[in-house]
Structure 1
């Protein structure tokens, strides 16, 4: 069975006959933004190869300092294996995206047509936001019964505000207004997190508001890293379909990003990222020692990233009984099914209208 492979070790990744091998390196990796860096490897290969069968590799997540060459790139392209690169601080930086194996000129035309039509684009953008807000509401309702007193009242008021805004989504007339509604609700949602985490966790991980680029504290760093994992996971599933990942509907298509992955990631972040963060912090699997401060920002250490990635991989493999397919499907498979739903809508928006994923458990 193919699975993502996460490479934290530094070294040289190469093709070895018809498989992959990592020649690990020793030494301490230097930061990517070191002003004295000359682009040369900061670690030294030890000459020992660690092969792993290419048949088991769905994708590569490269967190270490890894050298590659054109032979490896060609081999990964032939095998249809995307590679995602993260920098010294754990930021997602780039994707090595193989040539598309699933091509459909008709679908690409339909996808562009929906983006160019303000009415059709707004329908899809609303669906993404509505399902994201529904899933946020499910997360809030999961933790609400565990609260009492003023916390219970505050959360109840937030739920009423969320429901009112979600019910008003059909009245939004453009994408900027829709984005503003979604951003406002997420701000309210993040303000509830200290209640969900509890006083013991908040004492270790204070959290006032969402801050990015760079994250100001441990919890913001964890959210950013989790969101990047969700983005690349969604992108990996889009790649297995004929969808064009650069043509989006909620987020404006731009340069150097796969905007459609941002659209679909909004739907799944409450289930995959937020619930993961609550568990890791409430069970104390992550502690302040797993974070580092650098140049005014806060980042997960390598040990912290390994813990998060291990839990992420486990979470994607969890299964749930599907309501219409009458079988158990993994969380990761739910993302692929969401892509297929979008494909059907683009080809037949009347007969196969897209309805965003709603958590039912």
Structure 2
């Protein structure tokens, strides 16, 4: 199993990255504020626009360290990677199946089913832990979601468009319950519905920010096993979009994303003043808020969880890598279907 290393998060938008030997040097206004050996890193994520030198890009690429750029809003902008590794026959098989509607739908179905099973588990766990907070509306929506999962299992979608429609309906049912999961009494963390581009409240700002972190990890994991993160099955190919990374992260949204965001709010890791509300209503994390979230995220990635299919304990940070390996094995024909990660 791959070793879990550190990710360097550069949160100051005025930071610039330069190379000095085998080190990445972080500077603000031409003053060095940090120096990290490249062999200690598996990824670098920059939240800002000052950028990085060509030397840093070459250093990261040659050491297979992903270098990603994200806006202060948490929107993914782009990433730098080295030569594509892995078996070219594996990627050819990926491209072939992506263009096959029926084959793509089978893989996409497992991604969606894993996501909805994990959504259901999040709601069931809340019901067990806080039975006194379960409203009749919550129970009704949970029943709808349970029935939707049953139908997905027993009557798989024939087309990708049908599958996307069913996923959208079930996701809305899940997010209709999301406000009940927030234990904080602070009205600043009220949640009405999912909003993106831009997020219009603090909960959505956290969700979008964390989803971006997961997507970057998924893209790096896919590349590490030789797959092309831009050619997906559920999400169709578009210029600049990491379609396969978005496919892979679907099953991780509830487990890695939503539960983490709820813990940040319910455990008061973040407060209302860790966010900035822009003139157009968009809500973003402040630099202080980003640092608090990223510190908690790194701690979360070191925790271990039992992987049901592999039957072994895996660090949370390596779950995208484990699932990438399983997807590659399926595409090669080593296993019959792609087994999504389902939380216990």
Structure 1 unaligned regions, length at least 5: 26-43
What corresponds to 2:46 in structure 1? 62
Residue 205 of structure 2 aligns to a residue in which SS?
Answer: helix
Aligned length: 337
- Take 1:125 and 1:331, find their aligned partners in 2: how far apart are those partners? 23
Q: Does 1:6 align with 2:9?
A: yes
Task: Say which is worse superposed, 190-199 or 104-113, in terms of deviation.
Answer: 190-199
Q: TM-score, normalized by length of structure 2? A: 0.92
CA distance 1:329–1:146, shift in 2 (3 Å): closer
Match of 2:147 among 164, 179, 183: 164
Residues 136-147 of structure 1 aligned to structure 2 (within 5 Å): 136-147=119-130
Task: Give distance in 2, aligned partners of 1:124 and 1:107.
Answer: 15
Q: Which has the larger radius of gyration?
A: 1
Partner of 1:223: 207
For the 8 Å contact 1:144–1:155, the answer to whether it is kept is: no
Structural mapping, 1:79-98, within 5 Å? 79-98=63-82
SS in 1 for 2:251: helix
Residue aligned with 1:200, SS: coil
Q: CA deviation at 1:152?
A: 3.7
TM-score, scaled relative to structure 1? 0.88
Cα pair 2:105 2:159 within 8 Å, conserved: yes
Q: Which whole-Å CA distance do the structure 1 matches of 2:306 and 2:132 have between them?
A: 35
Partner in structure 1 of residue 333 of structure 2? 348
Could you say if the C-alpha distance between residues 295 and 92 of structure 1 is closer, same or farther in structure 2, counting changes exceeding 3 Å? farther
Distance 1:326 1:218, change over 3 A: closer
2:183 pairs with one of 195, 198, 213: 198
In terms of mean alpha carbon deviation, does 191-200 or 309-318 score higher?
A: 191-200
**How far apart are the structure 1 equivalents of 2:108 and 2:51?**
40
**What's 1:299 paired with?**
284
Residue 93 of structure 2 corresponds to: 110
Q: Render the CA deviation track for 1:240-276: whole Å, top value 9, x for unaligned.
A: 1111111110011111111000001111011111111
Flag the 1:217–1:324 CA change in 2: closer, same or farther, 3 A.
closer
**Runs ≥4 in structure 1, deviation > 6 angstroms?**
none
Cα deviation, residue 18, structure 1: 2.3
1:338 is matched with 323
Contact 1:144 1:152 in 2 (8 A): no
With CA pairs under 8 Å and 6+ residues apart, which has the higher RCO, 1 or 2?
2
Q: For 1:40-59, what aligned pairs fall within 5 Å after superposition? A: 44-46=29-31, 48=32, 50-59=34-43
- RMSD over aligned Cα atoms: 1.9
